[in-house]
A and B are shown apart, each in its own frame.
Chain A
Amino acid sequence: MKALSRDLPFMIGLTVVVLMGVAALAAPYLYPGNPLFSVAAPIQPPSSAYPLGTDNTGRDVAAMIVWGTRVSLLFAFGAAGISLLCGVVLGALSGYFGGIIDDVMSRFFEIFDVIPRLFLIILVVALFGSHLWLTVFIVGITMWPSNARLMRAQVLTLKKRGYAQAAVVSGAGHLSVLFGHIVPNGIGPVTANSTLQMAYAVLTEAGLAFLGLSDPNVASWGQVLYWGQGFISSAPWMVIFPGIAIALLLLSFHLIGSTLQAQLNPRLQKAIL
């Protein structure tokens, strides 16, 4: 097993994510004030004062992108976190107890796997309103079946191992064996999958914002794109830069995820995609 710190793609991905995290935390110091207020003349091309130009109402595109990092990372960690939690708990229970619980849950995973998620999310957000936290929750809750399936498969093999059997025989409760011994040992593939789900969550947020379904009070990358599409000929910088930010973050999560996958499952040779 090669040290992660020597893996170049992994380190590049991690660096970008960390830098974006720093930008998200430092946003109030870098760009004080609400990024959605106009600060300059509208539609100014990139200049030294406004490195990414200004939009059609005179807002600083750079400020909106730096503040937008917060939304994207919130979706990445919030939605993938919800998906991880649901997936691990439901998948572990399903794999450990088997029988009718497993049958019902497996059917459930299958059904939720084929439902086109974005269509469902659009309907929910349009009905219930585009509040930031609600959207994070919805995106998270639609992603968990793949985590559950991975966790279930892990538990199915690990529960037959000696240490798990020994813990049961020595009188530990089923739930404490499951979540104290089996899940921590089998969570690897789920972690790798979570990194890819982070990318998916960022992409979904951007897509929703691009369809006009994001919280209008918060600056996000997809939202700048949404506002910018009507000004593509007069202010192309409004669409170019947010897209680069999205692509960069997605790429980083994929670089991290594929390395983790290869490390956790050495039998698979490293598949970059």
Chain B
Amino acid sequence: MRRYLLRRIMQIFPVILVAAILNFLLINFAPGDPAVILAGEYAPDEYVAELRRSYGLDDPILYRLWVYILQLLHGDLGYSFAYRRPVLELLFEHAQNTLLLVVGSQGFSIVIGTWLGALAARYHTRWQDNTITYGTLLLYCLPVFWTGLMLILIFAVKLRWMPSSGMMDFLAFDRPRWLDLLYHMVLPVTCLFLYTLPTYTRLARASVLEVAREDFVTTARAIGFSERVVFMRHALRNALLPTVTVAGLSLSSLLTGALLVETVFAWPGLGRLMFEAVSQRDFPVLMGGFLFATSLVIIGNFIVDILYTYLDPRVTYS
């Protein structure tokens, strides 16, 4: 196990290294002077000269790559000219807000999605199954940013129940801060929930159907356990394993969803940071964001792998 862990940790680095090299190549082959790209259009000449010196932009390209990677190893992801702050600091700060949305919505998605999927499997090929299956397919095909806009249109513009954007209302003195935060979270969390729900529903349906054919389920039924017990204790429980895997593997698509949802709802998370960086052409933030997202995904995958050994004792690594 320890050797497996070590090998698995060693696999994390090549991916992050490739992302870093991609960053480096892109910035160097993009039209324009990399120093000007990194400093921003309106940067003073001294700052451009300073960047040119610290990145060694007059040196040979391989040496520059080495310098760039050394800087990354020191946690230096560059400096955002729009925020006038180090990129890494910005990323960590915004990641907290993204985490809030992600944790809230994924909890609901996994529980409700699994329940719906299991329900569909239980009533396989009957109307309940068809409704759930086609309903999830339809939901799956809605672009997440459009779902967000529709939620705003219905609940913020027409019904005026919910705020349409932001994370806090600084003029709302009549309610405590945490309640105001929750109030602002409802729509974006719902949106992200609807975005990931189909994945878990589909997965739970497929794996319950798979498990339902196994011998131990037939045996349990033959022993005379009630259909409910067979279903809950035997079929559903064993069908939960793939959910854990997918929760880890779909991190990349989850971050993509969060990026778009935060853009719609002006939620100050990683995605919104990226969106603003796009419109200001704040390249250090875009590069840092890409590297940061890649690291999150690969570390998430790693954690899932480890969790798996605890959940399924049959899986051993060597």
Contacts and interface: CB of A to CB of B under 8 A. Distances in A.
B10 interface: no
Residue from the set A118, A199, A233 with the largest chain B CB neighbour count within 10 Å: A118
A213 B259 CA distance: 14
B318 interface: no
A254 interface: yes
A218 interface: no
A117 interface: yes
Contact of B286 (A126, A128, A203, A225): A126
Contacts of B297: 114-116
A107 B17 CA distance: 13
Interface of B: 14-15, 18-19, 22-23, 26-27, 30-31, 37, 133-134, 136-138, 140-143, 145-146, 149-150, 152-153, 157, 198, 202, 206, 252, 255-256, 259-260, 263-264, 274-275, 278-279, 281, 283, 286-287, 289-290, 293-294, 297-298, 301
Contacts of A61: none
Nearest to A209: B145
Interface of A: 107, 111, 114-120, 122-124, 126-129, 199, 203, 206-207, 210-213, 225, 229, 232-233, 236, 239-240, 242-243, 246-247, 250-251, 254, 271-273
B137 A115 contact: no
Residue from the set A107, A127, A240 with the largest chain B CB neighbour count within 10 Å: A127
16 contacts: A111-B15, A114-B297, A115-B22, A115-B252, A116-B297, A119-B289, A120-B290, A122-B290, A123-B286, A127-B37, A127-B283, A199-B141, A210-B263, A211-B260, A225-B145, A229-B264
Contacts, number: 132
A120 B22 contact: yes
A232 B146 contact: no
Contact of A210 (B145, B157, B252): B145
Given A122-B286, A254-B140, A114 B15 contact: yes
A38 to B, nearest CB: 23
B37 A247 contact: no
Contacts of B137: 251, 254, 272-273
Say what secondary structure dominates the interface of chain A.
helix
A192 B142 CA distance: 21
Given A114-B252, A232-B153, A239-B153, A225 B146 contact: yes
A103 to B, nearest CB: 13
B202 to A, nearest CB: 4
A111 B18 contact: yes
A254 B145 CA distance: 19
B146 A247 contact: yes
A115 B19 contact: yes
B255 A246 contact: no
Contacts of B260: 207, 210-211
A251 B259 contact: no
Given A123-B26, A229-B264, 5 more contacts: A127-B26, A211-B275, A240-B153, A247-B143, A250-B141
Contacts of B255: 116, 119
A116 B264 contact: no
A129 B281 CA distance: 11
B259 A111 contact: no
Contacts of A273: 133, 136-137, 140, 198, 202
Contacts of A243: 142-143, 146, 149-150
